[in-house]
Amino acid sequence: ELWGSEVSQVTCGRHHTLVSIASSKLIYSFGCGMQGQLGNGEMINKSVPYPVDLPTECNHEYTIEKLLAGENHSFALSFKEPGNESKPNPSRGILTLDDRMIGRWLSRSEPRKMVKKMAKKDINKVFSSAASLNGSFLKTSCDQHYQTSEDHCGLDFDLVKTSFAKLSKNESLISEVVKVVEQTLLPSLNPNPTGVESLRVYLLLPELIRRLKKQKTELTEALASKILQLDPDAHKVLEKYWSKLPDGWLKGLVKLFRKASTSMIGRIAADSMNMDIKTRLPKFVQILAMVYQVCCSANRNITKSDFIINEINDLLDVLQTINDDMNNNWVMLNWTGQIQAVIDQQNYYNAILKNLISLPCIFNLEAKCSYMKNRVWQGCFPLTLRRTALLEDSFSQLRMATQQQLREFWLSVFYTEDMRKTDVNKRDFFHNVFEELCALESQMFMYNDNQTMSWFPAQLSVETEKYFLFGILCGLAFNNNSVVHLPFPLALFKKLLNVKPSLEDLIEFDSGLGKSLQYILDYSEDVEEMEMYYTIIWHGIEIELDPAEPGKMVTNSNREDFVDKYVDYILNKSVEEVFEEFKRGFFKACDRCMVEMFEPEELRGVLVGNEEYDWDILKQNTTYEGSFYAGHPTIISFWEVFDDLTSNEKKAFLLFLTGFEKVPILGMSAVKMRVRPLFIFTQDHLPQALTCHALLDLPVYQKKETLKAKVIEAINHKRGFWEE
């Protein structure tokens, strides 16, 4: 086709070629055409040159000046024949913002005066065009693409900062810029941008908005909408750009969307129902969640507290007030016809919080715990048990329970010995059933050398169903805000949240083995082979860590791989079947979205509590009722006795008072002890505790010695629960 023709230009795209013949005004194309880049109207490949199907007017009125081939795109720059219009200069770039232009604008527009016509025209050209803005602030380099790629955005961040700072000092100029960005630029952005250079605008606009003296929530919202509309490939590149932003820029991005989220949540807590805010708020929070994931993946030096919105606690307080009003004044509200309005409010706040909880990075720990505690339950799920057969009875009834009963119904425990429904029974049940489960003779678990920590066995000695039921019990404890005896390493809680366990987790369970593996990683001698093999022995089982290469040696170059495979086998592969049964039971009993609110360390704290015993805080937070007060002789004697107790006796008192042996995850400040006098008693009566309210009924003993003896007898023999 081209034989004998005088070719004026050849240019190549990714897998296609364009050829220009000046004499005939024809363009030929060949190569890959599956994106339509060959210009023949078809999605087809051509192995030989074929004329491009050009519009008719191009042959008569226009002359082709230059061909451009992008990755999967083709462009022809044309101009009208001389005599009609002046020939443009195709080498001239697009209009971009620079220091000289900003200086011109500032000289033409004094502060607080209207922007001059010429400056307004330039502002419109630059800030209405994504191409113009994306072409500004490029980092100078010898690379003609300014190092732009999926790994480098190509921006000179210092130049952007100084340029926007100058603009923001002039109120009339920045107002005009905002107007153009809001009305023209943002609506024009394509969710499927061409090339990674197009994504620079999403890095520039947050910095511009941050510079505004009066933050425009609408502008931030419009930007958030455009980011969320980007196609998945563009999202990935933008997230990579975020991961490499300078610290100040990344923190500024977080601050921008956090401030907008905070403002809206504050309005929700303060105002009546506003459906408009309810639909707008998730946009800001989703961007925060995206940036949070980027920071976690890239190990950026931004703390979790930078994302937390404390105003959510106010939202939870409002919901708690509504719930209390419903519970305490149901009859009155129904009688006055206000009940439906209160129900609507309750549903409104619950819907907002349910939406937000799917993005837990904005919740502080107190808010997460409060959200769990203040859920609306659908009914009661009863367990009727014999104290002498807790495991047998609970397992037989849990086998029959439905997912709805376990997840949505509040657990009530009845003992056949008394058949009374109290929260005391429930705490007593969890305390005892977990101690039985984790007892050494249960054979359900393996233990570390000092018998302080459990893990799933590599070889099963009981049926797998028991691990499923064990998972249900753990899920029930989580659902019912109960601290239990669950002596497992952090690896268990990581696995529940799909976080990969690490060598540090193995060290927590088996410090000897873990430290040996760490020694291999830290070994500094330059030796090719370490006289070790990928073959290991774990609890009597010989394992090939690399089955594709039996007898493989450990070397300097593969030691990290060896340690990774070793840890992976112990904490994952060797217990895969058992753990999956446990996990299935756990998530049958509790909603996954509730669990995923928490970080692994927090999840362990919620279920297991902690051992940060601060008895001074307990004393400071104690309140007194009836005739008791801080200076009452009995109260003075009580605290003197308490201070003299041993560490283990104080822990036993905490169990006696609350039903939990460990401190709740929110710390000792979450334990609000109340003390009231027990008047109907003899000197032989023991102190009593209502564990669900941390309420201590204390007899007024005549002597301090008697008080001490009775307190010790109570905590040692009654285990903290009523057993009347």
Render 645-710 in DSSP notation, one character per residue.
Answer: S-HHHHHHHHHHHHS-SSB-TT-GGG---EEEEE-S--TTPPPEEEGGGTEEEEE--SSHHHHHHH
CA distances from 311 to 109, 273, 276, 314, 363 (A): 41, 17, 19, 5, 9
User: Rounded CA gap, 396 and 642, in Å?
Assistant: 42
pLDDT in tens, 451-482: 788 999 888 778 889 999 999 999 999 999 88
| Stronger pLDDT, 669 or 59, i.e. the higher one | 669
pLDDT band at 723 (very low <50, low <70, confident <90, very high): very low
For the record, the structure tokens of 390 come out as: 């807790």
Given a cut of 50, is residue 291 above it in pLDDT? yes
pLDDT band at 374 (very low <50, low <70, confident <90, very high): confident
User: Rounded CA gap, 9 and 25, in Å?
Assistant: 12
Return the closest-CA partner of residue 74 out of 15, 6, 8, 150: 15
For the record, the structure tokens of 599 come out as: 């970080």
Per domain, the residue ranges of the chain are 9-80, 94-244, 248-374, 379-500+578-608, 503-571, 615-717
CA distances from 111 to 105, 169, 315, 490 (A): 11, 8, 42, 59
Question: What phi, psi does 66 have (nearest 5°)?
Answer: -155, 140
The reported pLDDT for the residue numbered 441 is 54
Element housing 509 (H / E): helix 503-509
Give the pTM: 0.78
Domain 379-500+578-608, CATH: 3.90.1750.10
pLDDT band at 363 (very low <50, low <70, confident <90, very high): very high
Name every residue whose Cβ is closer than 8 Å to that of residue 217 and which is 6 or more positions away in sequence.
Answer: 260, 263, 264
Given a cut of 70, is residue 724 above it in pLDDT? no
pLDDT in tens, 150-209: 888 888 899 999 999 998 888 888 888 999 999 999 999 999 988 888 999 999 999 999
The reported pLDDT for the residue numbered 718 is 53
- How many residues are given for the chain? 724
Q: Which residue has the tokens 């102190």?
A: 687
pLDDT in tens, 41-52: 888 899 999 889
DSSP letter, residue 196 = G
Given a cut of 60, is residue 390 above it in pLDDT? yes
Question: What phi, psi does 673 have (nearest 5°)?
Answer: -75, 135
Contact criterion met (CB below 8 Å) for 438 and 430: no
pLDDT band at 58 (very low <50, low <70, confident <90, very high): low
For the record, the structure tokens of 408 come out as: 């949505």
Three-state DSSP at 532 gives strand
Contact criterion met (CB below 8 Å) for 496 and 503: no
Contact criterion met (CB below 8 Å) for 299 and 353: no
The reported pLDDT for the residue numbered 573 is 94
Q: How many CB atoms lie within 10 A of CB 718?
A: 17
How would you class 196 by CB atoms within 10 Å of its CB: exposed for 0-12, middle for 13-18, buried for 19 or more?
Answer: buried
User: Rounded CA gap, 563 and 41, in Å?
Assistant: 57
Least confident of 62-76, 385-399, 588-602: 62-76
Mean pLDDT computed over every residue of the chain: 86
Find how far residue 451's CA is from the centre of its chain.
34
Least confident of 139-153, 389-403, 620-634: 139-153
Return the closest-CA partner of residue 408 out of 508, 340, 347, 475: 475
User: Rounded CA gap, 48 and 59, in Å?
Assistant: 23
The reported pLDDT for the residue numbered 587 is 97
Contact criterion met (CB below 8 Å) for 148 and 197: yes
User: Rounded CA gap, 701 and 705, in Å?
Assistant: 9
Contact criterion met (CB below 8 Å) for 242 and 201: no
User: Rounded CA gap, 363 and 214, in Å?
Assistant: 27
Return the closest-CA partner of residue 635 out of 704, 540, 535: 704
User: Rounded CA gap, 602 and 128, in Å?
Assistant: 47
Greatest pairwise CA separation for the chain in angstroms: 121
The reported pLDDT for the residue numbered 529 is 66
Q: Which CATH superfamily is domain 615-717 in?
A: Hect, E3 ligase catalytic domain (3.30.2410.10)
Given a cut of 80, is residue 625 above it in pLDDT? yes
Return the closest-CA partner of residue 205 out of 127, 309, 150: 127
For the record, the structure tokens of 361 come out as: 């990075």
pLDDT in tens, 201-236: 999 999 999 988 776 888 999 999 999 999 999 999
For the record, the structure tokens of 223 come out as: 């930007």
Type of residue found at 270:
A
For the record, the structure tokens of 661 come out as: 């042996």
Contact criterion met (CB below 8 Å) for 363 and 312: yes
User: Rounded CA gap, 16 and 32, in Å?
Assistant: 5
Range 283-303 burial, b when 16+ CB lie within 10 A, else e: bbbbbbbbbbebbeebebebe
- Domain 503-571 coded CATH 3.30.2160.10: yes
Q: 58-62, 76-80, 253-257, 441-445: which has the highest mean pLDDT? A: 253-257
Contact criterion met (CB below 8 Å) for 721 and 686: no
Contact criterion met (CB below 8 Å) for 664 and 670: yes
Return the closest-CA partner of residue 312 out of 322, 304, 320, 302: 320
Percentage helix, strand, coil, to 5, in the chain?
Answer: 55, 10, 35
The reported pLDDT for the residue numbered 722 is 43
Element housing 455 (H / E): strand 454-455
